[in-house]
Amino acid sequence: MKKRWGIFPGLFLSTAVILSGCGGQSSPASVTPSEGGTQAAKAHILKVANYFATDHPQNVALREKFQKIVEAKSDGTLQVQIYDNSKLGAEKELYDGVRNGTIEMGIPGLIMQADIPKMAVGEWPFLFKDFAHAKKVFQGPIGKEMTEELESKHGVHPLAWSANGFRMFSSNRTIASLDDFKGLRVRMPNIPNYITLGKLLGTNVTPMPISEVFTALEQKVVDGQDNPIATLRASGWYEVQSDVLESRHMFSPNLYIINAKLWNQLTPDQQTIIEEAAKASADYEWELLEKSYEDDKKFLQEKGIKFTEPDDSFRRAMESAAGPLYDDIY
């Protein structure tokens, strides 16, 4: 395990080396000066898109925190509409929508890392030891540095880091050793780090959007997938899977983003309201997701899912198999 946690102290050095639209539905009325000479706020509808199921902590936090805070504090100038469960498209579509301004806001994962390599840092395998560790990194200087090119390169303004969680493999058979990965057909996101890791572990990787996973599992196009168990539960995939390997092979964050052109049209007060609401919502989601793990595990076990906790030998074998990915990174 020394190698596993020895990676993190070098993260600052490695980031130093590796890391060296029109938005918003505005009212047609013209902006009028207020008594103080400043411009009055225009009204905007903020469509917030994501690919998570309705009951996932991401959407619970959006409804209970972000929407309520924004609408209450903006005096009606900002209205929030939540589009969950890929209603406005899969991750790539919703991210592109925020980039070009057809969608005001979104909560994607790190799909932008193909164009902005520093965004990949957060999903290096076997890097984080627990939620507190991950949260400290993403909400600290490294998280800020990771997002510093998003606005200039992609036209999106970052607001807050939220959590998807520790990824684990679900499958239609038990995975108890590295040999059990051989020949396993696994859906993974179409992101280089994921695909490389899956191949290094011995699986046959099939990239596809998250909206297609249930059907692919049901029809046995793939044997398994990797996601936090909150997603496994909220998306109903337990109906077509039998096992979960608690591999914790990667931590996946999510990011609240807003179209940059829209952001720059907002008043300073509106910007502050949105930013503070996003941070409050994201913090609440981190809390919900971490607390839900045992409840999610119990629920899945009651649905017949068998959980396998890898022993030290198996975990070391997985970390060793991932070694070439770090060789490429460094």
Q: What is the pLDDT of residues 169-214, one digit of tens each?
A: 999 999 999 999 999 999 999 888 899 999 999 999 999 998 899 9
Would you state the CATH architecture of domain 42-329? Answer: 3-Layer(aba) Sandwich (3.40)
Name the residue ranges covered by the structural domains of the chain. 42-329
Tens digits of residue pLDDT in 73-123: 999 999 999 999 999 999 999 999 999 999 999 999 999 998 999 999 999
Average pLDDT, the chain: 89
Which 3 state secondary structure label does DSSP give 24? Answer: coil
Give the sign of the dihedral formed by CA 152, CA 154, CA 155, CA 157. negative
Distance CA 104, CA 149 (A): 19
Beta bridge partners of 105: 48, 258
Please name the residue that has the structure tokens 């496994």. 232
pLDDT for the residue numbered 329: 84
